[in-house]
Amino acid sequence: MVNAAIERGQSVPVKARRNRRLGTIASATTKDAAGGERLIPEPQEPLFPILSLKGLLARSATKVPSIAEHGDFIELIAGRYAIGIALDLLGVGISDEVLVPACHCTAMIDPIVAKGATPVFYKIDRLLNVDIADASSKVTPKTKAIMASHMFGFPQDGPALRSFADQHGVALIEDCAHAFFGDGMGTYGDFVIGSGRKFFPIAQGGCLVTRHPGLRDVKLQSRGLVANLRDALTLIERSLKFGRLWLLDPPLMLLERLRGKGKPTTEPDDSLNPEPAPEEREIDYFPDEEHIGISGLSKILWRMTSPGWVARKRRENYRKLLDLVGEGPGLRPLFPDLPDTVVPFMAAFWVDRLEEIFPSLEDAALPMQRYGQFLWEGVDETVCPVSVDMSKHLIQLACHQDLTDTELRRIAGAFREIVLREN
């Protein structure tokens, strides 16, 4: 599959040295069409929210609905572990099946496989909506749950999913990794999962929200002082790298010099987060990390961040980005309209010749991701032609609250220029 991808001119990450904790990319190279190695530069702008004074002080009185309101709430180190705990509470194990979208990110599938269960893929439509009829046709006596994701923050048909689950007697895992905020988000699922680091300036974080009585018996390991300090350093280094919290740079340098190390090394982090190709990936799910709670520091930062401000900035940035990128031959936004009720995760675009131009986009060091670039083994045209199309044409750009106007202009300008120049 990698070779086929290279033949198609698709760039394939071959050496993503993954940190054991959460798959952080410490360095990444890719193979070009000729098979040579090429370094993928880190993004010039942060892919996810980062710590800044502005963000910490920003306030807004506007009430924004969040998934945390709809049940008991636990915070873990990643959304994938929330899925894992939900599966445990449902008693999902070997020989059970879980329905999942054919267009997915592998972090959604890993927990299912880690439990010994089988993911069964249902079709999606061209706006990434669940094809309920196809999902129904895939229900068997072994089906224990259906997982559905509100992609990029845009809602799935919650009532239809709820009645599907009730009708077939399966649980609904509502994946709100892209939709921490927004009307209706988290109100339909028996289990609701979130991914905190996509919305808050924290080092690691995910959450599980449910009214399942078993949640009370889930015991989480608390994090010690060292973990808190490590999170603090990671966050500060990330912010310094992108020109925030610069007042902390001199004292940190001094500290490092006293320790005889010179300037602190800002480890490349998961701002650059290419999904590994199937051949080189291991399951990115570590059972021993499932029950680790997030650090106290991340908890504080999560709660200090103003939901009203996050929602307003993300919506503004989304609109700005769409305006600046515009449309053109072979380029269009997937969701041109932003309903009042949506707080977007990223701005998704359809690009006709994405596979050919992707190396140029990587060289431009854009804060971007390709959702569903690598589909789970066996997910092909016969399973869902739309998902295969998405894996070749879908790309999304950051629009989070911590991006400045200048950064948004650089991202949109470089993206538009490359896509239209090379299209």
CB 372, min distance to ligand PLP, A: 9
Binding residue for ligand PLP, selected from 175, 275, 355, 407, defined by CB under 6 A = 175
Which lies closer to ligand PLP via its Cβ, residue 270 or residue 316? Answer: 270
Task: Write the DSSP assignment of 245-279 as a string of letters.
Answer: SGGGHHHHHHHHHHTT--SPP----TTS-PPPPGG
Binding residue for ligand PLP, selected from 71, 155, 201, 206, defined by CB under 6 A = 206
Rg of the chain, C-alpha, whole Å:
21
Q: Residue type for 372, please? A: G
Q: Select the residue whose beta carbon is closest to ligand PLP and give its number.
A: 79
Six-digit token string for 248? 């902390």
Which lies closer to ligand PLP via its Cβ, residue 75 or residue 407? Answer: 75
CB 204, min distance to ligand PLP, A: 8
Looking at residues 142 to 161 of the shown chain, list those that interact with ligand PLP (rule: CB under 6 A).
149
Which lies closer to ligand PLP via its Cβ, residue 43 or residue 206? Answer: 206
CB 396, min distance to ligand PLP, A: 10
d(CA 290, CA 82): 8
Contacts with ligand PLP by CB under 6 A: the residue count is 12
According to DSSP, residue 365 is labeled: T
> Which contacts qualify for 298-301: CB closer than 8 Å, 24 or more apart?
298/75, 298/196, 298/200, 298/202, 298/203, 298/204, 298/205, 298/231, 299/75, 301/51, 301/56, 301/200, 301/201, 301/202, 301/235
Binding residue for ligand PLP, selected from 115, 178, 223, 400, defined by CB under 6 A = 178
3-state secondary structure of 187: coil
Stretch that binds ligand PLP, among 73-81, 84-92, 116-124, 294-302 (CB under 6 A): 73-81
Sign of CA dihedral 7, 8, 11, 13: negative
Stretch that binds ligand PLP, among 128-136, 172-180, 252-260, 292-300 (CB under 6 A): 172-180
d(CA 12, CA 16): 10
Looking at residues 79 to 138 of the shown chain, list those that interact with ligand PLP (rule: CB under 6 A).
79-80, 105, 107-108
CB 137, min distance to ligand PLP, A: 23
Stretch that binds ligand PLP, among 72-80, 86-94, 218-226, 253-261 (CB under 6 A): 72-80
Tell me how far CA of residue 183 lies from CA of 192, 199, 237, 311, in angstroms.
14, 16, 34, 12
Helix axes 79-90, 106-114, angle to 10 degrees: 40
Q: Does 403 bind ligand PLP (CB under 6 A)?
A: no
CB 165, min distance to ligand PLP, A: 18
Q: Does 195 bind ligand PLP (CB under 6 A)?
A: yes
Q: Is residue 266 a contact partner of residue 238, using CB atoms and an 8 Å limit?
A: yes
Residues that bind ligand PLP (CB under 6 A): 78-80, 105, 107-108, 149, 175, 177-178, 195, 206
